[in-house]
Amino acid sequence: MFKFHCHQCGESFRVHFENLHNKQSLQCANCGFDFPQKAIESLVRLGDAYLDAIDTLYQEASNRKCWSISIESNDTLVPPPVGKYDHLDVSQTKRSKTSFWEHRNRGQLTREISDLRETLSQDPEKPF
């Protein structure tokens, strides 16, 4: 089950994995605020993958000992609600990330350096 928290009005609601597979859109039941389409598509894939894993475990467990899984949560909102001044970047060190999760950003700096080298190698007026 997924728990959703609307930052627009503060309402929370839950959707079971089984009910997510056919969702084309999702809105807050309280204020009608739309959930991002790309995020819905990702959650549908995640829900389907979870249900596929459960089906596989049932098939494996039918003739021998297997595994059981469950999903746990600590109710930490990800991402957290945006504060009034959070859009201001005063650090000057904020980097563009492909993901909130650090382990998915590994290699990002290497890719950025590679892209820069490629751009510089194609520049006929190189400063060096």
In Å, how far are 12, 96, 117, 125 from 58, measured between CA atoms?
32, 42, 51, 63
Helix (H) or strand (E) holding 114: helix 108-121
**What per-residue confidence (pLDDT) applies to 112?**
63
* The pLDDT value given to residue 22: 82
Question: Is the Cβ–Cβ distance between 45 and 30 less than 8 Å?
Answer: no
Based on the structure, what is the number of domains in the chain? 2
**What is the predicted pLDDT for the residue at 111?**
62
Specify whether 34 is located in the same domain as 97. Answer: no
Q: Would 66 be classed as within a structural domain?
A: yes
Q: What is the pLDDT along the chain (128 residues), one digit of tens a residue?
A: 888 999 999 999 988 878 888 888 999 989 999 999 999 999 989 888 988 988 888 888 777 778 888 887 777 777 777 777 676 655 544 555 667 667 666 665 566 666 667 776 776 666 55
- Tell me what pLDDT residue 88 has: 64
Give yes or no: residues 12 and 70 share one domain: yes
Give the angle subtended at the CA of 116 by the CAs of 114 and 108, to the nearest 5°: 50
Instruction: Based on the fold, state whether residues 53 and 111 are members of the same structural domain.
Output: no
- Residues 57 and 109 grouped into a single domain: no
Q: Please count the CA atoms within 13 angstroms of the CA of 91 that sit on its side-chain side.
A: 5
| Torsion sign, CA atoms 108, 35, 24, 72 | positive
